[in-house]
Amino acid sequence: NKNYQSLVVHQAESGVQLVQLNRPEALNALTTELLAELYDVMDVAEASDDIRVLVLTGSSKAFAAGADINEMAERDLVGMLNDPRQQYWQRITRFSKPVIAAINGYCLGGGCELAMHADILIAGRDAQFGQPEINLGIMPGAGGTQRLLRAVGKSLTMQMVLTGQPINAQQAKDAGLISEITQPELTVTRALALAKVIASKGSLAVRLAKESILKGMDTDLATGLRFERHAFTVLAGTEDRKEGIMAFKEKRQPNFSGR
């Protein structure tokens, strides 16, 4: 594994890579460097057959407490327009393999936006989710007004974005922002277990299912259904489908090849 300054990357279970944000001195606040390293991790993971699922986590104290405020303070309007971070966020958005966020502690601002880029979010009981940008005289800028809206609906999004006040893990689960609450010390273990299950499936089916679900988040039903049908049809041509059906008939576990 490469030497990153702000990330620690472990090859965990077979097919699963664990990526830990590692800026303990600043509650994992997202610097341009951290996002550039995440970009690099995703580029490598995208191309590697050995990596099928990413688990993204922070520390027990913070998933990430937002964009790095010190760095942000140095950028004026033109600096923001030319911000290299835009391409890093886009890299995360177009990553084709599943990403699971295992969240503990503060998950705020850009940190919450990063978490919402994940496909599955689970969190420890003590997690706090918020978009506190309004307290700094700004607003969310990495998808917070759009992804939060799609995840939890209008009223709670308005409340969080306009007051800047965080919600706890239970509220986040009730609202559909996260899918499970764990004991804080078991969040990563649980995320790795889910990742391992997903990594054992046919990777083409996983990829197209992810794409189809994401498509459904930003299109009308008819278009989404058409996309789903095309994706479903494409999978009829795969080895994995033959293997999956054969294994079912032979009453054994399938052994998917990703072809």
Write out the catalytic residue numbers.
Answer: 67, 110, 113, 133
The answer to the question of residue 85 lying near ligand CO8 (CB under 6 A) is yes
> Which region, judged by CB under 6 A, interacts with ligand CO8, from 46-54, 67-75, 191-199, 209-217?
67-75
The answer to the question of residue 95 lying near ligand CO8 (CB under 6 A) is no
Report d(CA 111, CA 1) in Å as an integer. 24
Q: Which of residues 137-156 bind ligand CO8 (CB under 6 A)?
A: 141-142
Report d(CA 259, CA 243) in Å as an integer. 10
Report d(CA 39, CA 85) in Å as an integer. 10
Q: Which of residues 217-236 bind ligand CO8 (CB under 6 A)?
A: none
The answer to the question of residue 68 lying near ligand CO8 (CB under 6 A) is yes
> Which region, judged by CB under 6 A, interacts with ligand CO8, from 8-16, 68-76, 149-157, 220-228?
68-76
Report d(CA 198, CA 208) in Å as an integer. 13
User: Are 104 and 38 in contact, with CB atoms under 8 Å apart?
Assistant: no
Report d(CA 120, CA 55) in Å as an integer. 9
**Which residues have CB under 8 Å from 246's CB, separation 6+?**
254
Give the N- to C-terminal CA distance of the chain in Å, as an integer. 27
Chosen residue from 95, 133, 152, 188 binding ligand CO8 by CB under 6 A? 133
The answer to the question of residue 108 lying near ligand CO8 (CB under 6 A) is yes
CB of 10 to ligand CO8, least distance (A): 24
Rule CB under 6 A: which residues touch ligand CO8?
Answer: 26-27, 29-30, 65-70, 85, 106, 108-110, 132-133, 136, 141-142
